[in-house]
Amino acid sequence: MEFTHELEQYINGHILPEENFLNELERETNLTCVHPRMLSGHIQGKILYMLCKMIRPKRVLELGTYTGYSAISMAMALDRDATLHTIEIFDELDGIIHKYIGKAGLQDKIHCYFGDAMELVPGIDGQFDLVFIDADKRKYPDYYELVFDKVNPGGYIIADNILWDGKVADENEKNDPQTNGIITFNQMVQVDPRVENVIFPFRDGMMIVRKK
């Protein structure tokens, strides 16, 4: 089945409606930011929202904030005493991120960090029930090792873009550093006896990993 624009519009009309401030965020991202395709968007945002409703994590860690759509989507689903920590390497996105966190009324729930996740994560105290990875694809294997011990038993790691426009199954793409990073990550998870995993083949692919 081809995921057409018409099918996307049909899905948009049959799931939880997009909040006005998230629609504004998507529009501003497309108008002002480089690589707006990196934004999660309505459908993926509601998938993340629903997963958080189901898992009910007390602490969430996100690697790769971009303009904040996914962070806001997840944070809206969290219980009152839960928090989300999100890391973005490009500090020039600070303004738009905090603008829409404010519009969503989530200033006390979302904690933002700017810099390299490999350097910042070790300094964030405590364990997490959910980690969402959507950052530098070349570093996915490193991110997996970085966060694994910070995930509580029974907790989840969600990784975005793990099909990478189908390049993971294309022999001609395996010398590409980003494609190779994702392939290596996917294989690491697949052979790791400490976890259970499944792939959602929606959009660019999302892997759900449960730590035993």
Whether the Cβ atoms of residue 93 and residue 69 lie closer than 8 Å to each other? no
Inter-CA distances, 158 with 31, 47, 135, 174, Å? 28, 11, 12, 23
SS3 sequence, the chain? CCCCHHHHHHHHCCCCCCCHHHHHHHHHHHHHCCCHHHCCHHHHHHHHHHHHHHHCCCEEEEECCCCCHHHHHHHHCCCCCCEEEEEECCHHHHHHHHHHHHHHCCCCCEEEEECCHHHHHHHCCCCEEEEEECCCHHHHHHHHHHHHCCEEEEEEEEEECCCHHHHHHCHHHCCCHHHHHHHHHHHHHHCCCCEEEEEECCCCCEEEEEEC
- The CATH class for the domain spanning 5-211 reads alpha beta
Mean pLDDT of all residues in the chain?
A: 96
Provide the pLDDT for residue 171: 84
Please give the angle made by the CA atoms of 120, 198 and 84, to the nearest 5 degrees. 30
Residue 2 has pLDDT above 80, yes or no: no
- The domain locations on the chain are 5-211
Which two three-digit tokens encode residue 94?
């600070």
Q: What would the pLDDT profile of 52-100 be if each residue is shown by its tens digit?
A: 999 999 999 999 999 999 999 999 999 999 999 999 999 999 999 999 9
Nearest-CA neighbor of 194 among 149, 128, 137, 140?
149
Q: What would the pLDDT profile of 110-148 be if each residue is shown by its tens digit?
A: 999 999 999 999 999 999 999 999 999 999 999 999 999
